Amino acid sequence: MSEPEELLDIAVEAARMAGGLLAERVLAGAEREVSSKSTPTDLVSEADLAAERAISELLAERRPQDGFLGEEGGGVQGSSGLSWVVDPLDGTVNFLFGIPQWCVSVAVRDEQGAIAGAVFDPNRQELFTATRGGPALLRRGSASVELQGRAEDPNGGDAGTAELSSAMVATGLAYDATVRAAQAQVLARLAPQVRDIRRLGSAALDLAWTAAGRYDAYYERGVQEWDVAAGLMLCHTAGLEIRDLQGRGDLPNGVLVAPAGIVEDLLAIVG
């Protein structure tokens, strides 16, 4: 087994373990320990903290020399040259409101970028994985399918040559009200130019679903490393184009993912 495959096994173990823990908490009832972070709408629950502790402890046991960067805790440098980037519960607000659109995201990287990544959706029992030099896969039970973005244009033909007008685009909104107001202006420009827009609340799942072809494209500003580390690897491995969105005005930096045929047209609108 190669190093990427060995690291992926650990990423999958961590994601599934945390996902199982979170699913148990859902069955036990509503989270009672909730606080806010950057704004009153940026929430963190005891579930986030418990899931991150569990992943951190597992990685400390399996890979004690590696670094660690988690959404809810400080970073650890490590000495191996490898670092784990973890969102223990991406979609916290959905989780707290009982909306089954959240996941666990685990990636490991070196100085060249991501080596392996896993996004686990406990609500659908879907596991999305990718390794450097290997395929991006969606696993359900014992079955797996390779991810290649949307294979066909819904209007017929090759998705690589599809027009922006036929694209289903996913996005997200920031917690800060001023940023949201600026994002709304971008959405107003984009909405007439595409098939439709979806905003479901989990960046990691948005990226995984884009890699799986459920969306044609995804963009979002204000995302953090832990939100997108595994998802961007899925999309890159699935053959999609990735562009950085530079901050301007009230809009922070962000990321755009789309097929080659529409990426520049979409960038011209949201960039």
End-of-domain residue from the set 119, 146, 173: 146
Residue 221 and residue 251: Cα distance in Å, rounded? 7
Q: How many angstroms separate the CA atoms of 170 and 179, rounded? A: 18
Which pLDDT value is given to residue 112?
A: 95
| pLDDT at 29 exceeding the cut of 80 | no
Closest CA to 80 of 99, 98, 67, 62: 67
Q: Does 50 map to a domain?
A: yes
- Percent of the chain having pLDDT more than 70? 89
Domain count, the chain: 2
Structural contact between residues 148 and 43, judged by C-beta atoms closer than 8 angstroms? no
Q: Are residues 53 and 132 in the same domain?
A: yes
Residues 135 and 15 in one domain: yes
Residue 41 confidence class, pLDDT cut points 50, 70, 90: very low
Say which CATH number the domain at 244 has: 3.40.190.80
Is there a single domain that holds both residue 126 and residue 168?
Answer: no
Confidence category of residue 31, pLDDT binned at 50, 70, 90 = low
Domain boundary residue among 116, 146, 176? 146
pLDDT at 75: 79
Q: Is residue 60 part of a domain?
A: yes
Residue-wise DSSP of the chain: --HHHHHHHHHHHHHHHHHHHHHHHHHH-----EEESSSTTSEEEHHHHHHHHHHHHHHHHH-TTSEEEETTS--B--SSS-EEEEEEEE-HHHHHHT-S--EEEEEEEETTEEEEEEEEETTTTEEEEEETTS-EEEEETTEEEE--S--B-TTSSBGGG--GGG-EEEE---SSHHHHHHHHHHHHHHGGGSSEEE--S-HHHHHHHHHTTSSSEEEEES--HHHHHHHHHHHHHTT-EEEEEPPBTTB--EEEEE-TTTHHHHHHHH-
Pair (110, 8) in one structural domain: yes
Give the domain-ending residue among 99, 117, 146: 146
Structural domain range at position 67: 3-146
- Are both 96 and 174 inside the same structural domain? no
Nearest to 58 by CA among 109, 98, 21, 113: 21
Residues 90 and 42 in one domain: yes
pLDDT at 72: 76
Query: 126 and 100, same structural domain?
Result: yes
Residues 54 and 27 in one domain: yes
pTM for the structure as a whole:
0.92
Residue-wise pLDDT for 128-174, tens only, equals 999 999 999 999 999 999 999 976 565 655 555 568 999 999 999 99
